[in-house]
Structure 1
Amino acid sequence: MIFNTTYTNKEYNRESNKLLGRSFSFIDKIKMSGVGSKRLAVADKSEKLDIHPTKSQSMHFANIELRPKGIIIHFAERLERFSWCIPYYRLVIYDTALFSIHAEGNFIKFLKNKYYEENKKFLHKMIHLKNKHQEQYHELH
C-alpha cells in the first residue's frame, strides 16, 4: 500500500500498524542498533511508485524503516513524501547490479554506490528479519 505522508495521515497510521505491526519499542530499537536505514540512492521505480514523473537529472533518495511484520519505504516526489508499506510475506529482494525491492507488482531499485555500502549491515538485518518471520510463519502452519 502506498500512502501520501506529507502531512499527518490517520489512515496510514491505522493501516501500517494493522499490516506491519506497531513501531518497535525504544528498548527494541536500541537492542537492534536502529530500525531505519540511511538514505539510499534510487535508480528506478515502477510506474505506480513514480507519482510525479520528471525528466530531472537530480538524484532521488529513499530510506527503509523496519517493523515487526514488514518494512516501510519512505521516498519523496517533488515536495510530497510517500510511504510504501510491504509485509514480509510479499517482500522480494534481488541483489544484482542494482539492489531492488519488489512487492505487489511494484519495485524500487537502488544504486550500489557509497549509500548502498553504508547500508549493507542494515540490509542484512532486514533480510534476517524477513527470514526469521518466514520461519515463524512456517512453524505455525
Structure 2
Amino acid sequence: MLFNTTYTNKNYITESKQKLGKSFSFFDKIKIGGVGSSRFIIKELSTKLQPKSNESYAIKYANIELRPKGIIVHFTNKLGRYSWIIPYYRLVIYSNETFSIHANGSFIQFIKNKNYKENKKFIQKMTDFKNTFLNLDYYDG
C-alpha cells in the first residue's frame, strides 16, 4: 500500500502498525544494529507507485525501514514523501543489473552504485529477517 506521508497521515500510521507491527524499540534497534538503510538512488518506479502529480522529476532517493513483519520503503518526489508498506510474505527481491523490490504487482528499481555497496549488509539483514519471519530454513544465506 502506498501512502503520501509528506504530512502526518493517520491511515498510514494505523496500517503500518497493523500490517507490519510497531517499530522496534530503541534497545532493539541497538541490538539489531540499526533498522534503516542508507539512501538508494531510484532508477524506475512501476506505474502504480508513481505519484499522481507525475511531472518531470529530478533524481529520487529512497530508504528502507525494517519492521517486525515487513518493510517500509520511503521515497521522495519533488517535495512529496511517500511510503510503501510491504509485508514479508509479499516481498520479493531481485539483484541483477539493478537491485529491485517487488510486491503486489508493483516494483521499485535501484541503481547499483556506491550507495548500493554501502547497503549490502542491510540487504542481507533484511533477507535474514524475512527468512526468519517466514520460517524459511532452507536458504543458505
What band does the TM-score fall into relative to the shorter chain?
over 0.9
Alignment identity in percent? 58
Measure the CA separation in 1 of the matches of 2:4 and 2:60: 17
Moved over 6 A (4+): none
Deviation string for 1:89-138 (max 9, x for gaps)? 000000111000000110000010011011110010001100111107xx
RMSD in angstroms over aligned alpha carbons? 1.1
Query: What SS class does the counterpart of residue 71 from structure 2 fall into?
Result: strand
Partner of 1:33: 33
Q: TM-score, normalised to structure 2's length?
A: 0.92
Measure the CA separation in 2 of the matches of 1:38 and 1:53: 25
In the alignment, structure 1 segments of 5+ residues that lack a partner are 137-141
Measure how far apart 1:54 and its partner are: 3.6
2:36 is aligned with 1:43: no
Counterpart of 1:129 in structure 2: which amino acid? F
Deviation string for 1:42-73 (max 9, x for gaps)? 010100111133444x3211000000000000
Measure the CA separation in 1 of the matches of 2:73 and 2:55: 20
Q: TM-score, normalised to structure 1's length?
A: 0.92
Measure the CA separation in 1 of the matches of 2:42 and 2:3: 18
In the alignment, structure 2 segments of 5+ residues that lack a partner are 137-141
Measure the CA separation in 2 of the matches of 1:77 and 1:41: 12
